[in-house]
Each structure stands twice: as C-alpha cells, then as structure tokens.
C-alpha cells in the first residue's frame, strides 16, 4: 500500500493540469470518475435534445396547436445549449 500510493499519485499527476496536490488518490479517482461521467452525460444530453426536436416535430404534426412553434424554438435552443455544455465539458474539465 505504501508503494502503491506514490505510484498512483504520479500516474494521476500526469493527467492533472495543476501541481501535484497532497490529496488522496481516492479523491483523484473520484474527480476523474466525475469528469468522465459529466462528459458522457453531456453527450447523452446532446442526443436527447436532438430526439426532443424530432419528437416535437412529430407531435406538432399530430396535433397542431398555437404553442407548437414556441415548443419548437425552445427545443432548438435547448439543443444549442446542450452542445455548448458538451463542448465546455470536453474542453474545460
């Protein structure tokens, strides 16, 4: 265990941008798990928001209402925001 800890710290320090911290490797693992999860979720969000755009189109074709165009605009805005989040997640985290 005493040998493993510095090795883990060394391996994680290659991925982190800041100086090697004194935090436990378990914390670093959690941070990396968080990063990967966040990036995956943001990519899933992009797919989901695209599905929402398609689905609102189908819904509007099925039942045409006054609010249909507003929902369409919201869904497109949501898609744009999801792309921004995904880009931010990939580049910043």
Give the binding site for another protein (CB under 8 A).
Answer: 27, 30-31, 34-35, 38, 41-42, 45, 48, 51-52, 55-56, 58-59, 61-67, 71, 74, 78, 81-82, 85, 89, 92-93
Are 81 and 48 within 8 A, CB to CB? no
Query: Nearest CA to 89 among 10, 34, 47?
Result: 34
For the CB of residue 10, give the shortest distance to another protein in the complex, in Å.
Answer: 20
Q: Can you tell me the distance from the alpha carbon of 55 to that of 75, in angstroms, rounded to the nearest whole number? A: 10
Taking the least distance from each CB to another protein, the nearer of 4 and 66 is 66
Taking the least distance from each CB to another protein, the nearer of 15 and 48 is 48
Q: Can you tell me the distance from the alpha carbon of 66 to that of 72, in angstroms, rounded to the nearest whole number? A: 11
Are 13 and 68 within 8 A, CB to CB? no
For the CB of residue 90, give the shortest distance to another protein in the complex, in Å.
Answer: 12
Taking the least distance from each CB to another protein, the nearer of 3 and 63 is 63
């Amino acid at each position: 265990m005493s040998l493993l800890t510095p090795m883990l710290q060394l391996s994680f320090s290659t991925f982190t941008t800041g100086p090697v911290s004194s935090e436990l490797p378990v914390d670093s693992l959690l941070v990396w798990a968080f990063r990967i999860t966040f990036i995956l979720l943001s990519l899933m969000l992009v797919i989901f928001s695209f599905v929402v755009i398609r689905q609102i189109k189908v819904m509007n074709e099925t039942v045409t209402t006054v609010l249909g165009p507003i929902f369409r605009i919201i869904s497109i805005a949501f898609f744009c925001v999801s792309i921004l989040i995904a880009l931010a997640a990939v580049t910043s985290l």
